[in-house]
């Protein structure tokens, strides 16, 4: 496994719509392993292939139980993901991104989503997510469409210009 370079704005590759994956081979499995290792090293809770300069529809995420810190976080692997259902209820929350360093922003997301995708072997699955997990999935799927959180944020904060006590109020 290899830690890969995460590209950042204004790299134009971040704005390209990713291509569907059709080959579920050892190269894809290696990419997935590298993405998980890179995400953890960064550290982050999600990473999409376009953030590595790879125009493919794949993202990984790692998230634990918000109410029980002793539960090990679960790793999610989504190949060719698509949101099939969205709740009517929306939730405002603060988001950051490994490809947009030094900024966070207020982003409104659906409270719940259903995502259909394929696993690393090409098998179809569907998952329903709520709360922060739904937010992570929506954020990463946006990457696959060339959308970054500042494109949809209601307000951005430059965290390099903020005092520590002000940061505590927003993150």
Residues identified as active-site: 140
163 HSE (CA, 13 A, CB side): 2
- 134 vs 9: CA distance, rounded Å: 24
Contacts 24+ apart (CB under 8 A), 22-30: 24/79, 24/118, 24/120, 24/121, 24/122, 28/58, 28/79, 28/120, 29/120, 30/1
Residues 6+ apart with CB under 8 A from 90: 108, 109, 110, 111
The kind and range of the H/E element at 110 are: strand 103-110
46's tokens: 């999600």
């Amino acid at each position: 496994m290899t830690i890969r370079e995460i590209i950042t704005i204004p790299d134009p590759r971040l704005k390209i719509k990713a291509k569907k994956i059709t080959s579920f081979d050892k190269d894809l499995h290696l990419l997935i392993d590298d993405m998980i290792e890179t995400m953890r090293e960064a550290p982050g809770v999600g990473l999409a292939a376009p953030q590595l300069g790879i125009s493919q529809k794949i993202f990984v995420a790692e998230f634990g139980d918000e109410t029980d810190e002793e539960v090990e976080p679960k790793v999610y692997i989504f190949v060719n993901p698509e949101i099939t259902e969205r709740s009517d209820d929306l939730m405002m929350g603060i988001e950051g991104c490994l490809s947009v360093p030094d900024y966070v922003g207020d982003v409104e997301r659906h409270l719940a989503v259903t995502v259909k995708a394929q696993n690393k072997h090409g098998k179809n699955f569907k998952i329903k997510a709520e709360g922060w997990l739904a937010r992570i999935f929506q954020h990463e799927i946006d990457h696959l469409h060339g959308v970054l959180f500042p494109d949809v944020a209601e307000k951005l904060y430059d965290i390099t210009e903020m005092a520590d006590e002000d940061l505590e109020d927003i993150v």
